[in-house]
């Protein structure tokens, strides 16, 4: 069996990696910054008998995710299990949660504005990076900077505004269901938030691991009110 775990060098990701680690299994852990923790995790997994390797890539970007999968495919013949525990998570059934569809809609909408001789504001990259960091750190419960208003605005409000912004192009692209999945994320929460709820309800990190395993196997979001019960 070959298992790939993003964010697998520490925390819940590492706990899942240890649960899978057995003699003869390939455990690939993905990390972004902390090389020392990744190397320590690899050694710990090897001590449990697994063949383990660490891969440094940013799965917060589509290109980084593609590079990760390409490297993993060179290390093992096939991947039997993929567990996504990285900080930047887009949650939902694999075929429904489509960041590409939303990106495509934004690009098409901006192109229509441009060809219609309507301008759009340009902002410095450093400002964009600030919002990117806030999104990764605080998730949908945090606040981003609305550069037009020059103030902090709840991320939920900005996400709703973004969906309204691309609403007139998604039907032409045939991607409405994929794009509107953002509403499900806003109502049900991200994977990180569901993990925290399970821990708050049980006080047991193993329960969090079981919860993640069940979500990964099922490919569906468990109802908000029954996160802890899903792992029993």
CATH class entry, domain 1-89: alpha beta
Query: What is the predicted pLDDT for the residue at 26?
Result: 94
Tens-place pLDDT, residues 66-98? 888 889 989 988 888 888 765 444 444 433 445
Q: Nearest CA to 34 among 61, 2, 11, 68? A: 11
Cβ atoms of 81 and 4 within 8 Å: the answer is: yes
The domain segmentation of the chain, as residue ranges, is 1-89, 99-187
Helix or strand run (H / E) with residue 193: helix 191-202
Q: Which residue has the higher pLDDT, 42 or 116?
A: 42
Asked if the model's pLDDT at residue 131 lies above 70, the reply is: yes
In DSSP terms, 51 is beta-bridged to: 26
Query: What is the predicted pLDDT for the residue at 219?
Result: 54
Asked if the model's pLDDT at residue 232 lies above 70, the reply is: no
Chain centroid to CA 158 = 19
Please, what is the average pLDDT of the chain? 80
In DSSP terms, 30 is beta-bridged to: 6, 55
Cβ atoms of 72 and 5 within 8 Å: the answer is: no
Query: What is the predicted pLDDT for the residue at 95?
Result: 35
Helix or strand run (H / E) with residue 171: helix 167-173
Tens-place pLDDT, residues 25-77? 999 999 988 899 999 999 999 999 999 999 998 876 777 888 888 899 899 88
Helix or strand run (H / E) with residue 68: helix 62-75
In DSSP terms, 31 is beta-bridged to: 56
Which residues make Cβ contacts (< 8 Å) with residue 66, sequence separation at least 6? none
């Amino acid at each position: 069996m070959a298992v790939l775990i993003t964010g697998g060098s520490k925390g819940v990701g590492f706990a899942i990696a240890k649960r899978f680690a057995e003699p003869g299994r390939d455990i690939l852990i993905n990390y972004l910054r902390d090389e020392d923790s990744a190397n320590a995790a690899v050694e710990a997994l090897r001590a449990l008998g697994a063949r383990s390797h660490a891969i440094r890539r940013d799965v917060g970007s589509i290109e980084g995710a593609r590079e990760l999968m390409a490297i993993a495919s060179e290390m093992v013949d096939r991947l039997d299990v993929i567990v996504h525990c990285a900080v930047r998570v887009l949650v939902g059934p694999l075929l429904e949660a489509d960041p590409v569809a939303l990106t495509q809609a934004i690009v098409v909408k901006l192109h229509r504005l441009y060809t219609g001789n309507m301008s759009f504001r340009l902002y410095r990259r450093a400002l964009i990076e600030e919002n990117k960091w806030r999104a990764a750190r605080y998730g949908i419960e945090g606040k981003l900077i609305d550069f037009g208003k020059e103030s902090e605005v709840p991320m939920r409000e900005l996400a709703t505004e973004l969906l309204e912004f691309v609403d007139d192009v998604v039907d032409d692209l045939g991607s409405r269901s994929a794009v509107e999945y953002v509403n499900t994320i806003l109502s049900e929460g991200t994977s990180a938030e569901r993990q925290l709820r399970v821990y708050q309800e049980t006080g047991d990190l193993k329960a969090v691991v079981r919860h993640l395993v069940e979500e990964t196997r099922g490919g569906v979001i468990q109802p908000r009110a029954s996160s802890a019960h899903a792992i029993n």
